[in-house]
Structure 1
């Protein structure tokens, strides 16, 4: 997986120590005659199907990151509809030994144009899936998709079973 230049610069100073990084998950939805479809990508690093994810660049608003990452990873143009979830993830140890923890901002996005194809080396496949026929994926991503598809007006806060709302 490509490492953003600012993370590479930080790693030169802190080595594999834990970094706290802002991230996004973009759940892109398009309407279809047979019902809604969700955009998923197959990650190159572990083969998992997930919504599009990415790291927020310094000074970049998270919703802008979501749109940018969808275009970069899946060659699809999307627009953010709303923020649906904000939560701290678990500590992740990457294959190279780098440790990170991400503050994830999950956005529901609407498809604008484009057919999904891998746009960079972060994914090996991309496609549309009906919500009732999602491929196997990590539970944390499945829950984000479910929450983005729910017609809930609030923002889910935290990763607990009971969602706090504003």
Structure 2
């Protein structure tokens, strides 16, 4: 997984110690052929897990801009943010290289604008549309983020 330059710089000073970082999850939805919504998922190259598109917010970047950027970079799809649906802090994450991180995640409901999913960079090995009732195996947290975007609550969900 490519590490953003500013994170690489921080890592040069703190090593694998815990970093607190702003992140996003972009749950991109589109109407499926059978009328039911489909969700865009990517297969991560670091651990092989299927997830919605996720990413780290660059310094000074607004999280909703990060969501759109990451979808295009990771899945070659153009998406538009409809709304923020959930803000939560993750538990401590131990990345495959041993780096520790914890994220303030902003989960956005997004709609597909154009493009056919395919890996756009080396962060994913596959990308595709999945029916909501036919999701591949994935963590409960990612299932919950998808559910929050599909439910599209009137208020932003706060916390776990």
TM-score bracket relative to the smaller structure: over 0.9
Q: Paired residue for 1:136?
A: 137
TM-score by length of 1: 0.94
Q: Paired residue for 2:32?
A: 32
Q: Paired residue for 1:77?
A: 78
RMSD (CA atoms)? 0.8
Give the 5 Å matches for 1:57-72.
Answer: 57-72=58-73
State whether residues 47 and 96 of structure 2, in contact with CA within 8 Å, keep that contact through their aligned partners in structure 1.
no
Give the 5 Å matches for 1:13-28.
Answer: 13-28=13-28
Deviations 1:31-62 (A, max 9, x none): 13411110000011111100000000000000
Q: Give how far 1:99 is off.
A: 0.8
Equivalent pairs counted in the alignment come to 159
Structure 1 moving runs of 4+ over 2 Å: none
Unmatched 5+ residue regions in structure 1? 160-166
Whole-angstrom CA distance in 2 between matches of 1:37 and 1:98: 33
Whole-angstrom CA distance in 2 between matches of 1:65 and 1:84: 15
